[in-house]
Amino acid sequence: METAVVDTPQSDKHRKIIHLDCDCFFAAVEMLAHPEWRDVPLAVGGAATRRGVIATCNYPARRFGIHSAMPTAKALQLCPHLVLVSGNMAHYREVAEQIFAIYRRFTHLIEPVSIDEAYLDVTDSTLLGGSATRIAEAVRQQVREETGITVSAGVAQNKFLAKVASDWNKPDGLCVITPEQQAEFMVQLPVKKIPGVGPRTQEKLMGLGVGTCTELQALSLVELQNHFGRFGERLWQLSRGEDTREVRTHRERKSVSVEHTYSQDRPDLASCMDQLETLMADLEQRYERHRESRQILGLVVKVKFNDFNQTTAECRSEHPHQGLFASLLEEAWQRGSRPVRLLGVGYRLGPKEEEAEAEQLPLF
């Protein structure tokens, strides 16, 4: 739904949000360093012998069905001649900082989502006639010229629509959803495009006869809450393109965690319990730099089974000990009762005194 419209002057009603997402970022950086890899299937990820997963891959690799989070062993089955590199995170961070420095030329209201993704609020910008569309085009051009990386952008009046739009014309695309186009855009949007709608939620929605946002809008708020709990209200809002979240320039860490993927599945609960002491020691080491300023409010255990289904169990506690983690691990393991490929443990953290109203971040 690409358009070349120029934004209308700012009003109290409409914000101007740009979502920027670098195209296959890690792979793109590798292709710049190794031009001979540009047209061959390439992936950045862990070795298959160590049960690694794909972090990202280029578009030639995607044509074989490879995608991020796929086990490396499966990716190599789909494409035996796949070029696999372990990656260089320090170099990726350097390139990302170059890109974010370009973003800062246009606004100081930047919310990083990840190393290669960010929201920009340009509502009050007077650059380029105050046009968010023209600002997005200028950002993309400068990033491409100065770093060689292509960036896809979405422009809309809120974060949800901007993020959906940035994925609409990938790679190297620009999609603008004006306030006047919002209702029409939502009519055609598949529910799988809504953040938080994974395979299981999508399957549940399909069971209700819902595959598009139009069909989702037909369900009442009460129906959605009955089926999906608190997430039902969020579904009701997003199906209408409504999102009041602001672009936040700082997000406080709300958790700290560690996890480990095992080269051989842990066959039973007892063998998982044997790993707790090591995981807790690693967690304590990671928590050390937060100890003076952040209180522990809760404990979490994550279990990923050998079929890649995963679950978490948590409890509130200010005093972590192995017995509590063991109880949570047993609770989580009982939900699958089968071999485990990954275990994780974490702490929920209280806010800093001066930042009590902070946004929740994912634990893992």
User: Does residue 125 surpass a pLDDT of 90?
Assistant: yes
Q: Which of 2, 36, 111, 117 is catalytic?
A: 117
Higher pLDDT among residues 39 and 2, named by residue = 39
Q: What percent of the chain has pLDDT over 70?
A: 92
Q: How large is the average pLDDT for residues 254-263?
A: 89
Residue 222 has pLDDT above 80, yes or no: yes
Q: Is the pLDDT of residue 6 over 60?
A: no
The 10s digit of each residue's pLDDT in 15-32 is 999 999 999 999 999 999
pLDDT for 187? 87
Q: What is the mean pLDDT of residues 44-50?
A: 83
Contacts of 211 (CB under 8 A, 6+ apart): 190, 191, 205
Residue 79 has pLDDT above 60, yes or no: yes
Burial class for 220, CB neighbours closer than 10 Å (0-12, 13-18, 19+): exposed
Q: Which residues are known binding-site members for Mg(2+)?
A: 21, 116
The per-residue pLDDT for range 209-221, each reduced to its tens digit, is: 999 999 999 999 9
pLDDT for 7 equals: 40
Query: Which of 93, 73, 62, 61 lies closest to 261, judged by CA?
Result: 73
Rg (CA), the chain: 22
Residue-range domain boundaries for the chain: 186-231, 255-355
The predicted model gives 134-143 an average pLDDT of: 97
Mean pLDDT of 283-294: 84
Q: What is the pLDDT of residue 352?
A: 61
Question: Is the CATH number 3.40.50.10090 carried by domain 255-355?
Answer: no
DSSP 205-244: HHHTT--BHHHHHTS-HHHHHHHHTHHHHHHHHHTTT---
Active site residue 117: yes
Q: 5 pLDDT exceeds 80?
A: no
Cite the annotated binding site by residue number. 21, 116
Q: Which two tokens stand for residue 195?
A: 């953040």
Mean pLDDT score, 156-161: 95
Q: Give me the pLDDT at residue 13, please.
A: 56
Across the chain, what does the average pLDDT equal?
88
What fold does the segment set 186-231 form as a domain? DNA polymerase; domain 1 (1.10.150)
pLDDT of 171 over the 70 cut: yes
pLDDT band at 363 (very low <50, low <70, confident <90, very high): very low
Name residues whose C-beta falls within 8 Å of residue 163's C-beta, 6 or more positions apart in sequence.
19, 119, 154, 195
- Helix (H, G, I), strand (E, B), or coil: what is residue 179? helix
pLDDT, tens digit, for every residue of 225-254?
999 888 899 999 999 999 999 998 876 678
If one compares 11 and 116, the residue with the highest pLDDT of the two is 116
Average of pLDDT values for 308-333? 90
**What is the model's pLDDT at position 4?**
35
Band (317; pLDDT cuts 50, 70, 90): confident
